[in-house]
Structure 1
Amino acid sequence: MAARMGLKQKYHAMTRDLMWDSQEFDMKRVYPLIEKEGIILKDPSRWEDPFRMAYNQYVKVQAEKDLLYHAVRNAFEANEGHAKVVDARWYEGVKAFAIAVQPAEYQAHRLMAYIGRNIPIEAIRFATINQCLDELRHAQIEIKHYAHMSKKIDGLHAYAQTNENLWFNTVTKSFFEDALSAGPFEALVAIAFSFEYVFTNILFLPFATSAAAVGDDNFVAVGKSVQSDESRHMALGMSALKMLLEEDDRNVPIIQRWLDKWYWRAYRIFSVVATLIDYYPRIRPISWKRAFKTYVEDQVFEGLFKDFRKYGIRLPLHAEDSIKEKEHYSHAVMRILNHAKHVNAFRGFRLHPDDYEWLSSEYPDTFERYYAPFFRRMDDHVLAVATPGIPAICTVCQIPLEFPDPDNPTRFWTQYSEYNNKTYMTCSPGCKHIFEQEPHKYAQIWWPAEAYVSGEFGENLPDDLFKYFGFAPEEANEYYSSRDYERWLQYRKQLGLDQIFTGR
């Protein structure tokens, strides 16, 4: 009788020796990108997937997660969970999450497939195919959640069209298209390290905690199901990065350049998360400032990058700028969203006294002085702060150029660069640096203002604009004066849930 294999031997048998050893084709033709980035690989076969998970184990674990999630979702829908949240303006934030994050999950699955196809290292290929399937699962369970939401609220009835065409989603698209047009090792640093390791915790943990606080058990289940996969993704990013640094000292300056770029790119794509933590929940367990301190400053800067010093790696180039900006980030982004709420699939809203009280206590040095006057302008007229035109956007991150300089908050942080006798604008020194490293790449930006003028949105404006986006004008604007709010109040009344949250 053959001896039974131990766990380690079984893992190797089921994940190693699966590579195609080409005898008739030059491997450089099979993997044409492997040498394009300058990365030196000496003995990558020694690299191990830290989870050592075989495929049959992976399928079993994921099936259990799906069963648990769908049980919670079914119970939430059957028990009128939508009506029982503290304040349904929360769902405007969930719509923002839907339009920004779910397409990112789908794009991430494409990106992991691209990485696995172009890196001939068995352990990386097996780990990336698992993550590729993870990202598809995340996209699917999120869409299932939004399908239920679309029965109750505005803005999501043409979800695929809105995700494809809405100007807001160009931020997510630009990040992933940037990564997909990079080499495979740079793409691995972009997604598995900068996106997953550095920022995933601040995406799912505080927002899921907020969901629990306001009573959205469905989204809590989404967050738990997704975040349980992210620990594996984070481990892949960490171990792969260490493998590249340990392979050869010549890899260090290349990796540092990628960390400088992709830290800032990921930081900007997560800008909307700051508002989802600070503004959309009526009950807030944590602020963006405190979450950033915990999950980025303490865990990443003070923990991880201290370990990286032995390789010669320093903090990302503009890390200090992001630390200073945490006092302003959520307010500046919420201001941008309120400027454009009349052309967005999710609404802004007037702040309540308890909102002002909480924001002032969490941001005593900035909110009342620099931002509260802006929000108070909406008290008498909901469209008082709506921008009358189309804003200029950053050439790199594609967010409107409305970020304040944290050292001088009454001035915008807008930067200017020259390329091919043309001036390009970026939102910050971080994006300016990225642009000037690869100006040929970012000069190809799709700019909504140019599309509007050229007729891409249609000829009968603004009606055709909303048809292009996939929602109607009455699905935009301000929440507390909307039909959604009135419907939610009636819904609660029919269920005997008449009490309205007062913030006390």
Structure 2
Amino acid sequence: MYQIPRAEWYDLTRATNWTYSYVTEDEVFPEEMSGASGISIEAWETYDEPYKVSYPEYVAIQREKDAGAYSVKAALERDAYVDRADPGWISTMIAHYGAIAVNEYAASLAEARMARFSKAPGNRNMATFGMLDENRHGQIQLYFPHANIKRNHQWNWAHKAMHTNEWASIAARSFFDDIMLCRDAIAVSIMLTFGFETGFTNMQFLGLAADASEAGDHTFASLISSVQTDEARHAQQGGPSLKILIENGHKEKAQQLVDISIWRAWKLFSVLTGPIMDYYTPLEHRSQSFKEFMVEWIIIQFERQLADLGLDAPWFWENLTKDLDVTHHGMHLGVWYWRPTVWWNPAAGASVKDREWLEEKYPGWNSTWGKCWDVITDNLNNGRESLTFPETLPYVCNMCQLPIVGTPGDGWDVKDFSLEYEGRLYHFGSEADRWCFEQDPERYKEHKNIIDRFLAGDIQPADIPGALMYMNLGPSEMGKDAHDYAWAAAFKKQADVA
């Protein structure tokens, strides 16, 4: 049967608009949902997405991807890789699934907002495919870990995490709700698909896929690669939106949305991806340091893309670049120390060889973070494990919902960037976190972080056991040292030999 060539019909089908006869344009696309900024629909019709695909093509490609990922899983099921994998790598998977899987489904709702309310027909067309993508991502990343629940209840947190008040879950929800579920269609296209997916998810998925292959976890590598190829396509929705905003006099708004999403994404990834790459992944399987990934995928890539679009580098760019040497190390140390409050088993990553690698990648690590690990190691090797557990909770930033950290050692530099607003005192971990709040205080002012809830009496009893109960962490789910302190014992053996 003869088929009309794709080039003859594609532009018509992906950009269909019509004249409304019984409703107004504003009723079809209310500003609070569309975010069109008063720009005419004719201007939005110029939206031109770089990656074009038809529905038959999409279905064929996605079927092939699913077949590949599920086939690898089935073929390697009997290999029982999970039973012999390094515990640090197991923690990597458990942490990833809990933070990402359900939020992938939530992203389908964000895509649906663009598919319904964007004035740009090309954006609506792409978002329809993006909605299918994200639904698939949620399903596959819930299905794969489900088979491992028989091994450890922590795997169940792939589904459970985002339905609890565990502190890391609160931080993840705060970020994803902000950029995906509480914004208009154009803001979503910029903050989710450009600010977040163009760089940060590519780094998470490409970095993890590379490390998974190195570690011999071909099932996880296949899954992550399958997801990332979708992200690379629908991540391109934000660029055309930015172009139209800038061309129509809304550069300031475009810059603000980009800056907020980049900073908020960075802070979340400093606690999720940073420790995974630099501490949890077995040393022999680390392809690059977290800083190297960030420089390649965020600093260099975003500067180039922003310049191409006519935007400036975010005003905090220099601070972010400096933080690459600091923030994730503090987040990692905090997560390990407060390990009973997370759903995975943090890997200390502080063995002799680990420390040599960290000093090479981050000169000065041993004189700062290393000093903290010296104390921890000494306590563990002298029967003082109780001193390596928390007795209270750290103070948490009112924007990123993560602990406020600084660099230990002689240059101890922790700082609280506070702000009083409508009689309430807010605390922030950086100038950029406070700036994000100041851009739209009404959006954020009512939220209580985990410490606010503790001080308000929402957590009872007001102690660590009460906090664990509030976070819905059962005894078999609470985190512990991934390697059962074997790394610390090695120092003792080394000292005994000497």
Shared fold per TM-score greater than 0.5: yes
How far did 1:14 drift?
3.6
Aligned to 2:420: 418
The 3-state SS of whatever aligns with 2:100 is: helix
What is the total number of aligned residue pairs between the two structures?
A: 473
Partners of 2:69 and 2:6 in 1: CA distance: 29
Aligned to 1:499: none
Moved more, 349-358 or 457-466: 457-466
Aligned to 1:75: 75
- 1:28 and 2:30 correspond: no
What pairs up with 1:474-493 in 2 under 5 angstroms? Answer: 474-480=476-482
Partners of 2:161 and 2:3 in 1: CA distance: 54
Aligned to 2:190: 189
CA deviations on 1:291-316 (whole Å, 9 max, x unpaired) are 11111222221x223323xx3x2101
2:169 alignment partner AA? N
- Residue 69 of structure 2 contacts residue 226 of structure 2 at CA under 8 Å; is this kept in 1? yes
Aligned to 2:219: 218
1:181 alignment partner AA? C
- 1:344 and 2:345 correspond: no
The 3-state SS of whatever aligns with 1:411 is: coil
Aligned to 1:157: 156
Aligned to 2:205: 204
Partners of 2:246 and 2:5 in 1: CA distance: 31
The 3-state SS of whatever aligns with 1:46 is: coil
How far did 1:237 drift?
2.3
The 3-state SS of whatever aligns with 2:336 is: helix
The 3-state SS of whatever aligns with 1:106 is: helix
Partners of 1:356 and 1:391 in 2: CA distance: 25
What pairs up with 1:327-342 in 2 under 5 angstroms? Answer: 327-342=325-340
CA deviations on 1:188-215 (whole Å, 9 max, x unpaired) are 1110110011322211111221112222
How far did 1:347 drift?
1.9
2:267 alignment partner AA? R
CA deviations on 1:29-60 (whole Å, 9 max, x unpaired) are 22112676635245221222322211111111
- Residue 49 of structure 2 contacts residue 237 of structure 2 at CA under 8 Å; is this kept in 1? yes
Aligned to 2:396: 393
What pairs up with 1:116-127 in 2 under 5 angstroms? Answer: 116-127=115-126
Partners of 1:216 and 1:384 in 2: CA distance: 35
CA deviations on 1:64-98 (whole Å, 9 max, x unpaired) are 1000000111122221111343x122111222112
Partners of 2:256 and 2:161 in 1: CA distance: 35
Partners of 2:475 and 2:72 in 1: CA distance: 34
Unaligned runs of 5+ in 1: 486-504
CA deviations on 1:162-211 (whole Å, 9 max, x unpaired) are 33112211112111222222332122111011001132221111122111
Aligned to 2:443: 441
CA deviations on 1:129-179 (whole Å, 9 max, x unpaired) are 111111111111111121123222341336433331122111121112222
- Residue 65 of structure 1 contacts residue 225 of structure 1 at CA under 8 Å; is this kept in 2? yes
When the two chains are superposed, the root-mean-square deviation of aligned CA atoms in Å is: 2.7
Partners of 1:471 and 1:124 in 2: CA distance: 41
1:52 alignment partner AA? K
CA deviations on 1:324-357 (whole Å, 9 max, x unpaired) are 1111132111012123211211122443222112
Moved more, 443-452 or 272-281: 443-452
How far did 1:104 drift?
2.6
CA deviations on 1:195-242 (whole Å, 9 max, x unpaired) are 011322211111221112222212101111011112112322223322
CA deviations on 1:368-423 (whole Å, 9 max, x unpaired) are 121012223332335534331122211111111124499x9511142111101221
Partners of 2:43 and 2:157 in 1: CA distance: 50
Distance 1:332-1:467 versus aligned 2 partners, 3 A rule: closer
Distance 1:337-1:10 versus aligned 2 partners, 3 A rule: same
Partners of 1:208 and 1:450 in 2: CA distance: 37
- 1:59 and 2:59 correspond: yes
Moved more, 390-399 or 443-452: 443-452
Distance 1:388-1:330 versus aligned 2 partners, 3 A rule: same
- 1:90 and 2:89 correspond: yes
Partners of 1:158 and 1:306 in 2: CA distance: 40
- Residue 416 of structure 1 contacts residue 426 of structure 1 at CA under 8 Å; is this kept in 2? yes
Aligned to 1:374: 372
Distance 1:39-1:74 versus aligned 2 partners, 3 A rule: farther
Distance 1:119-1:157 versus aligned 2 partners, 3 A rule: closer
- Residue 109 of structure 1 contacts residue 131 of structure 1 at CA under 8 Å; is this kept in 2? yes
2:58 alignment partner AA? Y
- Residue 338 of structure 1 contacts residue 385 of structure 1 at CA under 8 Å; is this kept in 2? no
Aligned to 1:492: none
Unaligned runs of 5+ in 2: 487-498
Partners of 1:119 and 1:480 in 2: CA distance: 46
- 1:260 and 2:262 correspond: no
- Residue 327 of structure 1 contacts residue 363 of structure 1 at CA under 8 Å; is this kept in 2? yes
- Residue 31 of structure 1 contacts residue 119 of structure 1 at CA under 8 Å; is this kept in 2? yes
The 3-state SS of whatever aligns with 1:143 is: helix
Q: What is the TM-score normalised by the length of structure 1?
A: 0.87
The 3-state SS of whatever aligns with 1:391 is: coil
- Residue 454 of structure 2 contacts residue 462 of structure 2 at CA under 8 Å; is this kept in 1? no
The 3-state SS of whatever aligns with 1:151 is: coil
Partners of 1:206 and 1:323 in 2: CA distance: 19
Percent sequence identity is 23
Aligned to 1:11: 10
Distance 1:144-1:131 versus aligned 2 partners, 3 A rule: same
How far did 1:464 drift?
6.6
